[in-house]
């Protein structure tokens, strides 16, 4: 079983969201694109404050792996350490919140399932707080 932690962050209501992480496989080695099929990523986003927090407000299956899984250290903007990130999800507000607008004060949960070719599924859990716009 892989060690996992929840990636936490916040975003401003109406803005795009950029999430970066270093993702490892079940043996704790770094996940690479070679470990995954070409379209091995499934995305889900949930509004944890909604009347039904288990209903996804956004989902997408069979996403291109190289859009999300990168070579370690090549994700621009990573400042946590010198090793770098190997995962990025840039969520376009216009796409992810197309059917249900983000609500300031709500918490959102993203679940990214990456299917590997030999290690099964690796799941990245993201919890985000939406900060309201007060002047618009």
pLDDT tens sequence for the chain (136 residues): 444 579 999 999 999 999 999 998 888 889 998 999 899 999 999 999 999 999 999 999 999 999 999 999 999 999 999 999 999 999 999 999 999 899 999 999 999 999 999 888 999 999 999 999 888 6
Name 122's bridge partners: 114
CATH of domain 6-131: 2.60.40
Question: What is the predicted pLDDT for the residue at 2?
Answer: 46
The pTM of the full predicted model, rounded to 2 decimals, is 0.89
Q: What gap in Å lies between CA 82 and CA 80, rounded to an integer?
A: 7
């Amino acid at each position: 079983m892989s060690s996992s932690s929840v990636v936490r962050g916040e975003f401003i209501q109406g803005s795009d969201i950029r999430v970066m992480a270093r993702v490892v496989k079940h043996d704790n080695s770094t996940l690479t694109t070679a470990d995954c099929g070409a379209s091995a990523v499934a995305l889900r986003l949930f509004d944890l404050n909604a009347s039904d927090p288990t209903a996804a407000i956004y989902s997408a299956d069979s996403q291109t792996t190289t859009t999300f899984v990168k070579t370690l250290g090549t994700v621009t903007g990573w400042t946590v350490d010198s090793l770098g990130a190997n995962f990025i999800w840039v969520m376009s507000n216009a796409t992810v919140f197309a059917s249900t607008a983000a609500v300031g004060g709500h918490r959102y949960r993203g679940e990214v399932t990456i299917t590997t070719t030999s290690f099964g599924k690796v799941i990245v859990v993201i919890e985000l707080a939406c900060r309201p716009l007060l002047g618009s």
